[in-house]
Amino acid sequence: METGWLVLLSLALGLVIGAGFVILLHVAERRGNNAVTVASTAVPDGVDQVIDAIESAGLVIDPSNNVVKASSAAYGFGLVANGMLVRQEIKDMVAEVQRDGAPIVREVVIARGPFGDANVHLDVRAARLGSRYTLVLADDRTESYRLEETRRDFIANISHELKTPIGAIALLAEALEPASDDPEQVRRFARRMGTEAARLSQITREIIELSRLQATDVLAGATRIDLDAIVSSAVDQNHVVADARGMTLAVGGAKHVHVVGDEALLTLAVNNLVANAVQYSPDNSRIGIGVHHDDGVAEIVVTDQGIGIPEEDLPRVFERFFRVDQARSRNTGGTGLGLSIVKHIVQNHGGDIRAWSQIGQGSTFTIRLPEAGQTTAAPQGEKR
């Protein structure tokens, strides 16, 4: 009897021990699977596709700063090299996220290219991706910063330009009362006030024109235009001043070359070029206005025999308020906006403008526009 109980007890103990081994093996297997999962460098499901699809620079980084996945933009910005995150500012962000777990958003400025002659402004966001990885997204804000800088410069320039005629008018107004008994002085001050008021009006008008040119519907009423009419109108607007100084406005080149655009704006552009040529050329000189066309491109060329523009200043002559000679420009009434207006008009018409100059020999400005083909229909009727 006792032997039977001993057998049963032995069998029970064997079952318990066997079950224990099975449980231990199962736990060991689960721990092994978890260890494999932790050690794996695979990116979580779906992240690869997201990184490939987004326009931002996207990176997935492991705890050793190895880049597990990166978008093409990340390589373009130079954030990755040899599979490693190389920008220290972003490394610091990743380390902070890995330490504290909270997402971070910061502005990072990095040099563009090996010479560091230009900067890229990035809005960088870093956050945890699961328990192991860190996700970094960087958006390029360089263009926004450039536009903001341009806006600030424009406002500063406007303030400076308006201050000069306004200050002059205020001083002249103060001088009028003490000179009330001297009619000649009053007339002289009044003439000066008229000149400054006209200058103020011109600056205001050109600023409004620049703002209008930035509208998206500036060419909503585009028509087919004969460039003969554009050149003729621009010459008519300048011939009185040119004749008074003994200048010759010579028109030549091809006839009946057509473009599609806004006649008033193109006339303004050519008028500004001719007016500049008259303004900065010596008396009794010759100004040429020619029209050419070739291979679908129409050109309006204005050439003068003026003082010329230094080579280093040529790339800047189309900037707002830029003047080659500040003192001479103020004496001649220039605002520094004329060529900027020309550039905007031409670009709005799908063309470009080029400048050539040599000191003491003169300058040549060339407007290039798409030529209207013989079968091109005028959108709103045809101007001839």
Distance CA 343, CA 353 (A): 6
CATH architecture of 220-384: 2-Layer Sandwich (3.30)
pLDDT bracket for residue 141 (50, 70, 90)? confident
Single-letter amino acid, residue 114: P
pLDDT bracket for residue 102 (50, 70, 90)? very high
pLDDT in tens, 285-326: 999 999 999 888 999 999 998 888 888 888 778 876 666 554
Classify domain 47-140 at the CATH topology level. Beta-Lactamase (3.30.450)
Position 189 scores a pLDDT of 82
Please say whether the beta carbons of 223 and 355 come within 8 A. no
**Res 59 pLDDT > 50:** yes
- Region of 296 please: left (phi>0), alpha (psi -120 to 50) or beta: left
Q: Is 353 helix (H, G, I), strand (E, B) or coil?
A: strand
**Higher-scoring residue by pLDDT: 22, 217:** 217
Position 51 scores a pLDDT of 76
pLDDT-above-70 percentage for the chain: 71
Neighbouring C-alpha atoms within 13 Å toward the C-beta of 154: 14
Position 292 scores a pLDDT of 93
pLDDT bracket for residue 188 (50, 70, 90)? confident
* pTM, entire model: 0.53
Position 323 scores a pLDDT of 60
Q: Phi and psi (nearest 5°) for 358?
A: -145, 130
Least confident stretch, 124-133, 279-288, 373-382 = 373-382
Please say whether the beta carbons of 344 and 327 come within 8 A. no
**Res 5 pLDDT > 50:** no
CATH 1.10.287.370 fits domain 142-214 = no
Position 266 scores a pLDDT of 92
Residue holding tokens 């424009």? 154
**Higher-scoring residue by pLDDT: 71, 290:** 290
Please say whether the beta carbons of 314 and 322 come within 8 A. no
In three state form, how does the secondary structure of 97-108 look?
A: HHHHCCCEEEEE
Distance CA 119, CA 324 (A): 28
Count, residues in the chain: 384
Distance CA 181, CA 33 (A): 105
- Give the residue extent of every domain in the chain: 47-140, 142-214, 220-384
pLDDT bracket for residue 233 (50, 70, 90)? very high
**Higher-scoring residue by pLDDT: 384, 338:** 338
Q: Which segments of the chain does DSSP mark as H helices, in order?
A: 2-39, 47-53, 72-76, 88-100, 142-176, 183-213, 227-244, 263-279, 326-332, 338-348
- Tell me how far CA of residue 272 lies from CA of 129, 207, 266, 362, in angstroms: 59, 14, 10, 16
pLDDT-above-90 percentage for the chain: 23
Mean pLDDT confidence for 335-358 = 84
